[in-house]
Structure 1
């Protein structure tokens, strides 16, 4: 099959998981032999992009026609086969630029939030969860847009499996080690995890919480730990990767994902890949991944007591940990790992172009 020239683009702040998701998509399609280039604005120029071909072009907003004209001139030289846009602003910019360039090139929107209305101009869609697809359908209906003429596919974000398969131990450490890996912002629910540790301690359980991540809420969370006298139970690790990430997953017994607002929590997929049981909220994004009692447990969103009850279930029934962790790992192998997602992306793009 023909090697494709693919533009991967995002405009607007992509400092969360959106940027990494774009790089992962680039890598997945590059593994299939396709050429790629990143296109982004000044707001993202300091994000990780070394070793990636790139073109930085500033755009002031959705209706920046000067930026669209500049981009059109570059497009007439580069001649891409397809554009994968990871934000609404990117969809607008490239649709306008392709019009000015007078070239034929489909723009595929890959939505990373449930606010999808700005991406409806795209020529096709990659939905990272079924619910994102529902959001697009609802938004399109309100705008009287016929989606039957726009190809769509449900293709998850991807994860990398560790080199060795997890051991799936039924033994819990003492204290039981809980782990949360996330951006430290309020909607991720780390404060709920800290409060859950306090309640577990009051109930006589010996637990420890490892928090991996950075963010604007960190100082508030550190103060919360001090106020609750949990300095011996809670440890902040900062951002971790490589060997530190391996150690984190080797050390924890249970992964916590108490998110209150998300699209597809990658922390759940990561925990699956490392063979760790997950206790998460029942936010709609989590419901796209977890099947209650089969590959994880869900607590009512924002409900500390229910979060504690689900953690207590695992602590009191360690035999369930192995069963549920194995199911999650199987999902990681079958649905979310790099090579599976790369195949789906590759097949979808060829179907669009053919």
Structure 2
């Protein structure tokens, strides 16, 4: 197949770019003819706030215009911000003659939900184009319901996210991790940007009683949206030995090692563009108990007391209680970790994710010639 692949690719690493890269690798491995347009931006800030970003968007649209013809499939990873959505609308316009070949992939969802459930001009334009395309790929039932209001349900495909194969641990590694529970390590691994809950997690630790603090070490990994934000956070945690920021980026074996050293993974997110966080599935694969929030697509991959502990959004007190619960459940943590790893083995493998999307493309391609 000839595929025009329009999506963010590393760097910077985030869930959306990782999912795009894993799919692209499979398409190339299967020897499809793939033309790539990279949507990645250099900053973690959302919005339309610099001339460089303006140039980037026009550059993307020019590349789409040049590569728009002679494709069997056009794959577009959707943006959710207002200006990102405008860029996607221009992609629809440029590719209008090939609109019936376009598959859009919603990695996230809350932002698009707001757009499609509105009643303004932006909602109407999005609905018009989406109704015309070949299909929509979503992470779960929430987004299925959102898109079913603007496109035939038969064109909507649910494909859940994944954890990379190298991350999966064996029983011995989980047992080794939990053999010493005197000090519980909690890992926060995501971008440190507003809405992700990293500040609330630090504040929850700071409010713990000293007896609890002595039993907990929290490690933060991820990039900040600005130097000012980083400086503020480093000042906040400076005097607390149990709070440690170890860097902006980690991947590969170093990331696996860090997950394997951590008993608990915490992502108390209320980020407006959150979807089904790959980091939670990575935590499952590496045998971590999870603390997270009832937000966006998370409830469809997480159950309270089964996979870990659910917290209220924006609630320092709720996170603090979850940490205390972890310390009170020390003898049950290994059982939860084993359950999480086994769940990931059955549901969240890279091959399952890749195979599902490739099958969608293959079915569309075959049906095109049967008509």
The two structures share one fold, judged by TM-score above 0.5? yes
On the 8 A contact 1:80/1:105 being kept in 2, the answer is no
- Matches of 2:16 and 2:361, distance apart in 1: 20
1:1-354 to 2 correspondences below 5 Å:
4-10=1-7, 16-40=14-38, 44=41, 59-60=57-58, 67=61, 71-76=64-69, 79-87=70-78, 88-89=85-86, 91-99=88-96, 102=97, 106-112=101-107, 113-116=109-112, 117=116, 120=127, 121-122=129-130, 123=133, 124-137=135-148, 140=149, 145-148=150-153, 151-161=155-165, 162=167, 164-166=169-171, 167-169=173-175, 170-206=178-214, 207-216=216-225, 217-226=229-238, 229-230=239-240, 232-238=241-247, 239-261=249-271, 262-353=274-365, 354=367
Q: 1:58 to 1:212 in 2, by over 3 A?
A: closer
Size of the aligned set, in residue pairs, is 321
- Matches of 2:264 and 2:98, distance apart in 1: 52
Q: 1:46 to 1:223 in 2, by over 3 A?
A: closer
Q: 1:220 to 1:46 in 2, by over 3 A?
A: closer
| Runs of 4+ residues deviating >6 angstroms | none
On the 8 A contact 2:185/2:264 being kept in 1, the answer is yes
Structure with higher RCO (Cα < 8 A, 6+ apart)? 2
1:318 deviation in Å? 2.1
1:104 deviation in Å? 7.4
Q: 1:190 to 1:103 in 2, by over 3 A?
A: closer
On the 8 A contact 2:163/2:349 being kept in 1, the answer is yes
1:338 deviation in Å? 0.6
- Matches of 1:308 and 1:273, distance apart in 2: 25
On the 8 A contact 2:110/2:296 being kept in 1, the answer is no
* Residue of structure 2 in register with 1:50 after alignment: none
Q: 1:318 to 1:349 in 2, by over 3 A?
A: same
Give the aligned CA root-mean-square deviation in angstroms: 3.0
- Matches of 2:168 and 2:286, distance apart in 1: 10
Q: 1:208 to 1:104 in 2, by over 3 A?
A: closer
Q: 1:314 to 1:19 in 2, by over 3 A?
A: same
1:173 deviation in Å? 3.4
3-state DSSP of counterpart to 1:153:
strand
- Matches of 1:95 and 1:203, distance apart in 2: 58
Structure 1: runs of 5 or more not aligned: 48-56
Structure 2: runs of 5 or more not aligned: 45-54, 79-84, 117-122
1:223 deviation in Å? 1.7
On the 8 A contact 1:178/1:253 being kept in 2, the answer is yes
On the 8 A contact 1:110/1:127 being kept in 2, the answer is yes
